[in-house]
Amino acid sequence: MEGKRFFVVVGTRPNFVKAAPLMKELKENSKINPVLVHTGQHYDYEMSASFFKELDLPKPDIYLGIGSGTHSEQTGKIMIEFEKVCLREQPDLIIVVGDVNSTIACSIAASKLLIPVAHVESGLRSFDRTMPEEINRILTDQISDYLFTTCKDANENLIREGISQNKIFYVGNIMVDTLLSHLPKIYNSNILEMLGLKRNESMKKYAVLTLHRPANVDNSSILRGMLDALNSLSKKVVVIFPAHPRTIQMIQNFEMNEIINYRNKIASYDFEKEKKVIFAIPPLGYHDFLCLMSKAALVLTDSGGIQEETTVLGIPCLTLRNNTERPVTVKEGTNVIVGNNPKKILKTALNVLKDVIREKKAPKYWDGKTAYRIVKILDRNFKEMPKGKK
């Protein structure tokens, strides 16, 4: 196919959500030939494949199959393999999304080959450098040629770090493009029936929990305290926990199985008769999870993307971290930072359940048109790259 070859890099399931609308928009531009590269950082192929199908993402053109490892091992492997692909395929531009190891690894490899880099979701900062993702964000932004931001705070962060203003483009939140375009399928999910949440009137209220960050799940005392607080919450409201396999493994390693009721497949619960504990289930697909979350009275999470999704959906969200790289969700959205203090988690959750959160509008440009704006900017500005770059 004729046209400029733009690589779109994905490595983890959150990346897929952000890449889907971008690939669709790029394919509609006759002057651009988009190539989807999957590093295989999330190495469970079946889970990846289900997300690709749900999000209408094309099968990856290039699959690196990197797999697991420490942060350094994974980053190094991706750099080595991605460099080989770039030398062979000669892309004109590399587009990376988010803040995972695939993001920084492919950015470094491309930059050293003098291939321009575009970073979607630039400028987000938690100001906590103990988070590997924070290092990935900062370094990727420093070597990117196009920096696409989700909010004004991100622009300000980049300018403060010395990034040239003519490289920064405030385009909005691309994840919202996916959410809004999939709402009919999300609301058509039957996950509530499958879990038994629609069986009787008492199930009108439930909370959704996600927990996966090493700072929360790798420390036995922190994990125990959080789960104890959430277990107390489960006596007041049903708590549904789509659990990452690694989190379940840590719960088992720390011998905390009594705090959760875990089934390794989706099945209907009898919430009235079963012991009131945290109900843990396997990870859900995109549509099922968004449906479950959209009907919840409360969401408790340590995920960044869920803070944004709850803001758009208008669902109260308690972030189980001491900081967030998405402060706009606190300032304009439905998000409250509670950290990992058990007493604060329980007290805030109970207070939220008593009150209906006031309606808040989504931030500017969180309107489903972010991918359109990105492609329009790339189409217009690509030829203006500095000399020495492709």
DSSP E strands in 42-162: the ranges are 62-63, 93-97, 117-122, 146-149
* Other residues' Cβ atoms within 10 Å of the Cβ of residue 179: 22
* Other residues' Cβ atoms within 10 Å of the Cβ of residue 80: 13
Contact status, residue 337 vs residue 330, Cβ threshold 8 Å:
yes
Angle of helix 13-27 versus helix 174-181 axis, rounded to 10: 80
CA distance 105 to 225: 35
Q: Which active-site residues does the annotation give?
A: 212
CA distance 292 to 374: 30
Order of strands, edge to edge, in the sheet holding 146-149? 62-63, 32-38, 4-10, 93-97, 117-122, 146-149, 168-170
| Distance separating the N- and C-terminal Cα atoms of the chain | 19
Closest to 62 in 3D by CA, of 8, 142, 122, 2: 8
What single DSSP character describes residue 313? H
